[in-house]
Chains A and B, each alone.
Chain A
Amino acid sequence: MIINHPILGPRDSQEFTYLGDASLIDRPDWQAEDAADQFHDYLYLRDNPAGEHRELWFHEQGDRSWLVVTRNTVTHEILNVELARDVARARGRSK
């Protein structure tokens, strides 16, 4: 697979390591009333779809940036690549 890095251009997927579902960006509020339930679901449950999947890749052998890659889990086709930083900021996170 070739991942089209937003800054560096097309890179071999071997340069990256894979973390998992991009929902891991949305860490729950630890002060919420139901924080234990929220953290259980956040840490252990996954949608695991067949089809489009937004996921976190780390450019370990490159510029060490985190990316959000939208990829089809049935065909392995990569549909979109964003910097995880941009995605997190768009969701109101400060850094």
Chain B
Amino acid sequence: MRYSGLKVIKEALTGHKGWRPTWRDPEPKKSYDVVIIGGGGHGLATAYYLAKNHGITNVAVIEKGWIGGGNVGRNTTIIRSNYLLDGNEPFYELSLKLWEGLEQDFNYNAMVSQRGILNLVHTDAQRDAARRRGNAMILNGSDAELLDTDGVRAMYPFLNFNNARFPIKGGLLHRRGGTVRHDAVAWGYARGADLRGVDIIQNCEVTGFKIENGKCLGVETTKGFIGANKVASCVAGSSSRVMEKAGMRLPIESHVLQAFVSEGLKPVLDGVITFGAGHFYCSQSDKGGLVFGGDLDMYNSYAQRGNLPVVEDVMEGGMALIPALGRVRMLRSWGGIMDMSMDGSPFIDKTHIDGLYFNGGWCYGGFKATPASGWCYAHLLATDTPHKVATAYRLDRFRRGCMIDEKGQGAQPNLH
């Protein structure tokens, strides 16, 4: 399916009867060069870059439900490159650079909007930490500006600057950060992969792996056995459930994270604000709804819905920062399941089983990582060597003492 302005006008005049499905709905072949488990953003991006960068097109993406029905459709759509540590920041900077060229690259409107992200600071110690982070970002080719109180006030005069507990003393502004139309990311990658010959197989659940003599030969699915030279798991949120079928235990706990949307408002908030001290962050969608969230529910969960105490906590954080929110009605809330890893950082690695690869542990930062995750996973699958910005994302890093712990919290997944 090709899109053009002319086509839109033609279809508008003829009752929109000429649109065709954007990707095929094939039955699985007997075997593939690469089988990717999971038709989310990362899995589809991996298939797209396998085909585009490496010319590997005999690829299937197997999805339990429908593509884009998991976390790529359940996040708060933020993209950013504002990490501190060397193991992370080059990776996220690559991701942001890929976001910047993504729509031209896959010729699909993903509404990438670099509207800026502001991380608020409230104390001298937080300002020092923000300055350090900003310098780390700049050293890795990202952008950062440290604002004082007046700088923040000029951008967002409606914030509560004199909150007794958390007065606003400034903020770290990352202008290239922003938001993206999340569903369109899945659709754009799916379309691009499908056009290059990748089979996207929906409503097909992986029920087991065929592993003989330490080598993975393929996957058992609800549509029968599918052979593969390489099997690539890419199911963050359900990683433990899938890899358990290959006999692996992972350094991951699954937790639920809630998000919220208000009724539609006229434009009030043109960027993203994070209020880390109050466990609240917020942006405004192009439809007008305020999109916001906060902390994990803190307990292990696969339920895709949270509980009321966190709803209350997020609303309190929002009211503390933006008192005018009290006039706004909340429209929807939902939950997504996060792979919370033991150091808060992800994995893109081979496993100890030959031909079986693993991508997961994205915590609540998976969406922004989508392009680079697919790019680096495809590189690993095609060349059997890690991409240079993803060398730290190894499964054995805990054994080697090479954790990538941005927050310095230790092995307590719900605190990352």
Contacts and interface: CB of A to CB of B under 8 A. Distances in A.
Contacts of B309: 12-14
B8 interface: no
Contact of B413 (A1, A17, A20, A76): A20
Contact of A75 (B251, B254, B303, B307): B303
A44 B240 contact: no
A8 interface: no
A55 B301 CA distance: 12
A44 B301 contact: no
B407 interface: no
A19 B342 CA distance: 13
Interface residues of B, number: 25
A44 B341 CA distance: 9
A64 interface: no
Contact of A73 (B244, B302, B342, B398): B302
A40 B252 contact: no
Contacts of A14: 309
B385 interface: no
Nearest to A42: B411
Contacts of B249: 41, 45-47
Contact of A48 (B254, B298, B299): B254
Interface of A: 1, 12-14, 17-21, 40-41, 43-50, 53, 55, 71, 73-76
Given A40-B399, A45-B249, A71-B299, 6 more contacts: A13-B307, A44-B342, A46-B240, A46-B253, A49-B240, A55-B299
9 contacts: A12-B309, A41-B249, A43-B398, A45-B249, A46-B240, A46-B251, A48-B252, A73-B302, A75-B303
